[in-house]
Amino acid sequence: MSIDKFREKLIKNLKVKESSFHPVCKLDDKSNYKPYYKIERDGTIFERIFLDIPDVSIREYIICLHYLRYYVKVFLKEQVGVNIISRDDPWDFKIELSTGEKFNIEITSIAEDADLFEKFKREERLILKSVEEEIPFHELEKLNRLFPNSEITELISTHKENGVTKKDMVSNPYIDHNQNLFLSSRTYELEPLKNLIREAIDSKEKKKHTEKDETILIIDNRTLNYELSDLNLASESLSEFYYNSSFREVWFYTGYCSDLDGNNAEYSFAPLKVTKNQLTILEKSKDEIPPDKDGVMYL
């Protein structure tokens, strides 16, 4: 059963609540998303939709495109040309606009804990390799350690008996296994979201790269258990910390779905630190597009 059909059947038969971090759009024609279901002790099920881009480099590129689209739409309000001058030198992206403006974009991810982040990375590794007809033998062994399977264990033993070396290419038994259903347990003692945000910003502050005052820091929200209320509480506690940051801007990004060119997408940006001009524009926008009960404006 595909993920889309499983999700449709689950929602139809069970009472599923949406996380406050949830897309507004219908997902029928959307791509590169993955639903997660959080089952609470009382049986309540919460659905969380994740932007699902296994390749980190491509994911960062898409987030960069989403920010540029948001920046132009909300703050510049005019068509501009965009040029990516450099990549990972030293910031993730150096951008030049046709207006002459130049700035950097740096992206960092957060998740509840190292275990959950590792879980996502393992799942992404399996999905990424599931499109390849052949993989190196050492990769087959690695995937089987991450996701043990008795049949594949026997296959590995056969390869070894036949003298297959670590670097030899072998048929990929995981081909087309990109619709897996992953299960895991969760901890009920969550660290406050403000700690994760502070650590993410601090880690980038410690870097000796120049031009922090010309750099937009984007925190890629890959958490499962936090809600908008947690972000609001974090911002109340960290407002002075945000203000004193060396970065020009700091944004809390949550991606839900997107084509690989950044189009046909839904995502959200929550401002943690913005320029005075941006703050003025955002305040005026509240009159034009009244925020909902959670403080969210839908553009």
Q: How does DSSP assign the chain, residue by residue?
A: --HHHHHHHHHHHS-EEEPSS--SS-STT--SEEEEEEEPTTS-EEEEEEE---SHHHHHHHHHHHHHHHHIIIII-S---EEEEEESSSSSEEEEETTS-EEEEEEEEE-SSHHHHHHHHHHHHHHHHTT-SEEEHHHHHHHHHHS--HHHHHHHHHHHHTT--TTSEEE-TTTT-TT--------S-PPPHHHHHHHHHHHHHTS--S-GGGEEEEEEE--SS--HHHHHHHHHHHHHHHHT-SSSEEEEEEEEE--TTS-S-EEEEEEEE--HHHHHHHHHHHHHS---TTS----
The rounded distance, in Å, linking the Cα atoms of 83 and 295 is 33
Could you state, in order of their start, the residue ranges of all structural domains in the chain? 56-113+187-288
pLDDT in tens, the chain (299 residues): 555 666 666 666 667 888 899 999 889 899 999 888 877 777 788 889 999 887 899 999 999 999 999 999 999 999 999 999 999 999 999 999 999 999 999 999 998 866 666 776 777 777 777 778 888 899 889 888 888 888 889 988 999 999 989 989 998 888 865 555 555 555 556 789 999 999 999 999 999 999 999 999 999 999 988 999 999 999 999 999 999 999 999 999 999 999 999 999 999 999 999 999 999 999 998 888 877 777 777 76
Q: Quick one: tokens of 55?
A: 């390749």
